[in-house]
Homo-oligomer: A and B are copies of this chain.
Amino acid sequence: MTLDEADMDALSHIVGIEHVVRGAGLARLERGIDPENFGSSLVVRPGTVAEVQAIVRWCAERAVSIVPLGGRTGLSGGGASHEGQVSVLMDRLDRVLRVSPFGDYAVVESGATLGAVEAALAPHGLSAGINLSARDSCTIGGLVANNAGGMESFRNGTMRQRVLGLEAVLPDGSLFEDLTVVLKTNAGYDLKHLFIGSEGTLGLITKVALKLTPVRQSFATFLLSFGDTRSAQALVSAARRATHFEVLRCEAMWRRHFVETCELLELDALGRFGEAGEVFLILELGAPGTNSGDADASGAIFALCEGLQSFVDGLELKSEREVREVWRVREDWAIDRRYPNGLWFDVSICPDEIDAYLARVAEDLARLDPALRLYAIGHLADANLHVTVNADVDLAALKPRIEACVYRGIRETGGCFSAEHGIGTAKKHALAEQVSPAKLDMMRKIKRALDPQNIMNPGKVVD
C-alpha cells in the first residue's frame, strides 16, 4: 500500500506538521550508513511517548508497518525501509530524565545519543559503561535494540548488561512499562531482555534505565606484539587478574591488518614494530576515579610478557601522539577504503580456538581463491573478531562460499556467527543456517504472538 495526503494529515495531527518529514526535508536529515534508511520517504518524529503510542495505534489500525530509527549507524540494515512504511525517528525523545550518582543509575529517553548521555554523566564521574566509535551519533534506543558491544564489553558487559529497566511501545500501541532501576528483578519473564537485541521487531523502545559505572582514568597504553593469539590472550587474562590497575581496553589486530594499515597511513615507525609479530595488542590500563595509576604497571606488564613464550616486542606509548597513532591503526578504516568491496564479518569465537580458527579460515580461503585476503581485528577479551575478506576482484559471486568458510565450525565450538552488529536484513539468511531450528521456530512463534500483523520492522531478523 502507499500512503496518501489524508494519511499525512493524520500523522501531522499526531506529531505536528513540521515533524512529518518528506521530500526536501528528508534531504536535510542525516541518512546514516545504510542508503535505504529513508527508503520509506517518510520520517515521523514524535516528541512524546504518547505520540509514539498514537503513531503505532494509527499504523496498527491500517496495518501500516513501522521502521524505528535511532542514530542510523547500524551495520546490518535494521533501519532500511521502503515506500508505504512509516520510519519513526526517535531523535526528539532525547532527554536525560534522571541521574542518580548515589544509586549509580540514570533514566534516559531512547533518542538520546550515547555522547549526550555520557556528557550528562561526566560531571558525576560516571559512565554508561559502553564505548564504540559511533558514540556521537548512535542513540541509547538503538544500542539497546541492537545489544551493542564495543570495546568495554569484557568488563562492563554488552548493552544488555547495562540496562536496568526499559519502557517500550508494543505493536498494538500499548505501553510496556518496566522501568526498574535495580539489578534484581524477578517479576515473571524478564521481557526487557526480549526487546534488547530484537532490532525493533517487537516494539519501539522509548525509555531506558541504565546502570552506571565510575569513569576510569587511563594511565598507560602499551603496544605489544606476539607470535600467536593465545599468548596475547594469556597476557590480557593475567593483566586482568593483577591488582592495583584495571585493563580498560585490549584490542587486537592481526598481522595483515596492522602492517597494511601502517603502510596505508604511512606510519613507518609502527610498521617497523610489526616485523616479527603475528598479533598486535593495544593494552590500555587505568584506575577508578582520580587515581593516577600505578608506577609499577609497566614493569608488571613486561614481566608478564617475558613469561610468555611467543612474546615478540612491546612498547609503552609515552606521548599522546604515539597513543593516537596506535589507535588510528585500530580504528581508521584505511583497509576498507583500499578494498571497498570487501566482505565484513563479526563473529565471536570460542576463546580457546582463535588461532586455530584464523588459520583454518585462511587455508580455506586460499583454497577457494588465492587472491582472497583475510584481515582481522578484534575485541580480544571477548573473543569477538571483526574479520574482513578482501580482494581486488568483485566478491559477489564468491560471497556464499566465503561466508561458509568464515562461519564454519563457529557454532560447534561455542562461538556465534553474529557477535555485536545484529541481524537486520544482512544476516537473515545466515541466521536461518546458524542457529538451532528450535530457536528459529521459537523466534517465529514469539514474533507472531506479539506482532500478529507483522507491522514492527517487518522483514528484519525473522520472518
Please list the residues of chain A having a beta carbon within 8 angstroms of any beta carbon in chain B: 100, 102-105, 107, 146-147, 149, 153-154, 157-158, 160-161, 165, 170, 174-191, 193-194, 196-198, 202, 209, 214, 230, 233-234, 237, 241-244, 287-289, 291, 348-352, 379, 382-384, 414-423, 431, 434-443, 445-446, 448-450, 461-462
Task: Establish whether residues B191 and A422, one from each chain, have CB atoms under 8 Å apart when the complex forms.
Answer: no
Given A103-B383, A446-B446, are A189 and B158 neighbors across the interface (CB < 8 Å)?
no
Q: Do residues A244 and B244 form an inter-chain contact, with CB atoms below 8 A?
A: yes
A414/B446 in contact, CB under 8 A: no
> In the assembled complex, which residues on chain B have CB atoms less than 8 Å from the CB atom of A183?
153-154, 157-158, 348, 382
B435 touches A187 (CB 8 A): yes
Interface pair B178/A436, CB less than 8 Å apart: yes
Which of these, B181, B184, B379, contacts A149 with CB under 8 Å? B184
Asked if B436 and A176 sit within 8 Å, CB to CB, the answer is yes
**Complex copy number for this chain:** 2
Q: Is the CB of B237 within 8 A of A182?
A: no
When the two chains form the complex, which single residue of B161, B237, B423, B448 contacts A104, counting CB atoms closer than 8 Å? B237
Q: Are B182 and A186 in contact (CB under 8 A)?
A: no
Task: Give 10 A-B contacts (CB < 8 Å), ordered by A residue.
Answer: A103-B352, A153-B183, A157-B157, A158-B183, A181-B351, A182-B349, A189-B198, A189-B446, A190-B193, A445-B450
Known: A102-B234, A103-B352, A177-B438. A197 touches B186 (CB 8 A): yes
- Could you tell me if B180 and A414 are in contact, using CB atoms closer than 8 angstroms? yes
B residues near A288, Cβ cutoff 8 Å: 241-243
Contact status B439-A178, CB under 8 Å: yes
Q: How far is the CA of A352 from the CA of B193 in the complex (A)?
A: 25
Known: A184-B379, A186-B423. 20 other contacts (CB 8 A): A103-B352, A160-B193, A174-B441, A178-B439, A179-B414, A181-B351, A182-B350, A183-B348, A185-B348, A187-B423, A188-B431, A188-B443, A188-B461, A189-B443, A190-B197, A191-B443, A194-B194, A209-B414, A446-B446, A446-B449
Q: Across the interface, do A418 and B450 meet the contact criterion of CB distance under 8 Å? A: no
Tell me the smallest distance from the CB of A285 to a CB of chain B, in Å: 12
Query: Which B residues touch A350, using CB under 8 A?
Result: 103, 181-182
- Whether the Cβ atoms of B414 and A188 lie closer than 8 Å is no
Take A184-B420, A186-B147 as given contacts and tell me if A176 and B439 are in contact as well, using a CB distance cutoff of 8 Å.
yes
Are B462 and A188 closer than 8 Å at their CB atoms?
A: yes
Residues of B within 8 A of A103 (CB): 350-352, 383
In the bound complex, residues from chain B placing their C-beta under 8 Å from that of A182 are: 348-351, 382-384, 414-416, 419
A154 surroundings in chain B (CB, below 8 A): 183
CA distance A188 to B430 in the complex (A): 11
Cross-interface CB contact of A102 among B180, B237, B418, B421, cutoff 8 Å: B237
In the complex the two chains form, what is the Cα distance from A196 to B192 in whole Å?
12
B241 touches A289 (CB 8 A): yes
Using Cβ atoms and an 8 Å threshold, which residues of chain B touch A383? 103, 182
A180 contacts B100, CB within 8 Å? no
Q: How long is the Cα–Cα vector from A461 to B104 in the complex, in angstroms?
A: 30
B175–A436 CB distance below 8 A: yes
- CA of A184 to CA of B383 in the docked complex: distance in angstroms? 8
The answer to whether B442 touches A184, judged by C-beta atoms less than 8 angstroms apart, is no
Give the most central of A157, A176, A442, A462: most B CB within 10 Å: A442
- The interface residues of chain B lying within 8 Å CB-to-CB of A157 are 157, 161, 183
CB distance from A159 to the nearest CB of B (A): 10
Q: Given B187, B419, B439, which contacts A434 in the complex, CB threshold below 8 Å?
A: B187
Q: Given A194-B194, A351-B105, A382-B183, are A442 and B170 also a contact pair (CB < 8 Å)? A: yes
How distant is A192 from chain B, measured CB to nearest CB, in Å?
9
The 8 closest A-B pairs by CB, nearest first: A103-B351, A181-B414, A193-B193, A449-B449, A182-B348, A184-B419, A177-B436, A185-B416
Which chain B residue lies CB-closest to A352? B103
A462 B158 Cβ-Cβ under 8 A = no
Chain B contacts of A170 at CB under 8 A? 438, 442
Q: In the bound complex, how far is the Cα of B147 from the Cα of A10, in angstroms? A: 45
What's the Cα separation between A437 and B172 when bound, in Å? 13
